[in-house]
Each structure stands twice: as structure tokens, then as C-alpha cells.
A and B are shown apart, each in its own frame.
Chain A
Amino acid sequence: MKRSLALTCTLAASIMLSLPTVVMADDVKSLRGTAGIDAASAAPVIKQWAPDQEPIERDYVQQPPLVPHAVEGYKMNRKVNKCLSCHGWTKYKEAGATKISQTHFADRDENVLANIAPRRYFCDGCHVPQRNAKPLVSNTFTPVPAIHQP
């Protein structure tokens, strides 16, 4: 009986101690704004994919070029890679697409293989399709003039 009384007191004390933080939660700005725990945050507007366009200029050497077209429904798996059906070396001419880079045939030890290296498996891990969205983080990067006329 004594022990449970002591426990209850400690519990009450600790709740009281944490009260100031509960009150302060109102001023805290989290990633989802100042909305309380139980309030639903406002849903962001869904951004549409950018319409197909010409290849997008690159900003630095070794940049994986951005994908200038829709990729919805394009499958990449062990059995087939949809991107290669237009970007592969046997396909790019007919498809009018950019030929997949030579560098993609090399494994990480720079051994050139007879096919696209497995580490290039998920094309969209590096080549990303575009939406007309504001950058989440601003930056002051300036492309080198040699590859990108400002």
C-alpha cells in the first residue's frame, strides 16, 4: 500500500514536471507545421508529372541526366527493364532516345561487363522524372559555364 502510494506520487510529480513542455508544444514547429498531434495536417496539392519535353540541360559533368518524360508504369525488375527497350544499344536509334552510357557497363571495380552492370539496375535511383515543384531546400549552385550556358 505504501509502495503504490509512493509510485502514484512519483507519477504525479513527473507529469507536473512535463507539463511546461506540453504547454510549449504549441510553439514548436515540426515538419508538419504547428498542428497538434490529434489534428490532421493540410494535404499538399498533388503535383502532376511534367509533360514530355526535350532533354534537360545538365548542370555538371557526371550528372545523371534528368528524365524528360513520363515513366509511369515502366517496370524495372529481374525479368525486364522497360527503360532499356528504348535506351538500350540495340534500341536507341529506332526509339530516338539517348543511348545508355558506356559507363553503365562497368562494375564498381571498373571491369567492363558484357551487359549493363547490376548496380545500374534501378535506373530511377539516379535518373529522376520531373514535377513542377519548388525545391524543398534552396541552394546557390552555379553550373560550370563549359557545359551550361546561363
Chain B
Amino acid sequence: MNDKNRQDGDSGSQARGWREFFLRPTARYSVASLLVLGGAVGILFWGGFNWAMELSNTEDFCISCHEMRVNVYEEYKDTIHYNNRTGVRATCSDCHVPKEWQHKVVRKIVATNELLHKVLGSIDTPEKFEAKRLKLARIVWRTMERTDSRECRNCHDYESMEYMAQSRRAVDRHIKGFDEGKTCIDCHKGIAHSLPDMHEEDPSIVVGVVEE
């Protein structure tokens, strides 16, 4: 009984304490106005954060590094995702950065590793880039295999594919492939860039290479 009273008394004075805390002016401003200010600053920060996320999703940002501009970007300009009949373009981030927030943040954190290698100059010449290319491509392939080519499916949905309108070869392979649980990247490697030297990955698609 006594205990309970004490508790009641306690919570009552606690509530009062909180109220006082919020309404008591700090040195000069009320806590409420500080909260409003804090909210505003929060929005600014959040907006800024999102803005930065979006800015780092633009093509201009991606190719501001010459590593990307002189290699992958030049090749990509020759492909269907840059120039096509309908004029709908898929840019770097459409394929390389997830749309969903939680996956996007993870990708951006992983990207800090790329900044490290930018500083180290790991791929700062076309030769160095080519030497590392298979390794880099494999990272993308393995990720897409794991996510069932999520980034492709953000734009292309096999549920909405009209097989009547597709080419002979596409229809045959799509119907069978999707039945067998295959994913886009299993069949569409090199869709936006020149492939790396495929000798190690699959010698049967390189002319003139003879296995020792």
C-alpha cells in the first residue's frame, strides 16, 4: 500500500517534472521552440541526406570519376539502355543501386569501399581496370543471382512480358528459362558493358583459346 502510494506520487511528480522540463526556458528559449527548431533542422538533414543519396545516384556523379567515364560509360553509350527506339534510358544507378530504401543504404555503405579504391588508384588506368574487370563483374553477377536480378525487374517484369511480341529466340528461352527458375543475368551478361576476358569464366565462348 505504502509502496503503491509512493509509486503514484512518484509518477505524478515525474509527469510534473517532465512538463516543467519541456516548458522551462533553457538559458533563453523554451524547450518547445527548441523542438520545433530541432524538427526543422531534422527535416533539413533528412532532406539533405536524401538529396545526397539522389545526387550520388545520377549519371553525372557516376562518371565524374574517370575510371567510370573512360571505361564502362563509353561502352554503355553503345548499348540499348543508352539509346533505343523509345528513348527510355536506364542509367548506372538503375542497374547498380537498389530502389528499396533498406537495400539502397546498404549499397551506399558498400560504395565507401569503392571510394577507398579510388584513392588507392586501384583501377585508374584502362589496363588496371581490365585486369580487375572479371573480379568486378563477378561481384555484380553474384549479387544479381542472389537478388533474382532485382534491378532489372524494377523495369522489366516477366509477368508483363507479351510473348507474342517478342522475337522467336526470346520467347523460347524465356518460357523455359523462367520455368526452370533462371534469372535475367543468367542469360543476359554483358547487356550494358563489354564483357571481361571470359576465358576463365567460360572458355567455350572465347575464340582461339586452347586450354593447356
Contacts and interface: CB of A to CB of B under 8 A. Distances in A.
Is the pairing of A and B real? yes
Interface stretch (B2-10, B19-27, B94-102, B201-209): B201-209
A114 B211 contact: yes
Interface stretch (B103-111, B145-153, B166-174): B166-174
Contacts of A96: 169, 172-173
Contacts of A91: 204-205
Contacts of B211: 114-115
A115 B207 contact: yes
Interface residues of A, number: 33
A113 B199 CA distance: 17
Contacts of B30: none
Dominant SS at the A interface?
loop
B50 interface: no
A75 B195 contact: yes
A91 B173 CA distance: 13
Nearest to A117: B208
Contact of A113 (B198, B203, B204, B210): B210
A116 interface: yes
Given A52-B167, A75-B194, A95-B169, 20 more contacts: A52-B168, A70-B167, A73-B78, A77-B194, A79-B199, A79-B206, A80-B197, A80-B198, A80-B205, A81-B207, A82-B205, A84-B207, A85-B205, A88-B205, A90-B204, A115-B208, A115-B209, A115-B210, A117-B208, A118-B207
20 contacts: A52-B167, A54-B168, A69-B167, A75-B190, A75-B194, A76-B207, A77-B194, A79-B196, A80-B195, A80-B206, A81-B206, A84-B204, A84-B205, A84-B206, A85-B205, A86-B169, A95-B169, A96-B172, A96-B173, A115-B211
Q: 4 tightest A-B contacts by CB?
A: A52-B167, A79-B197, A118-B208, A80-B198
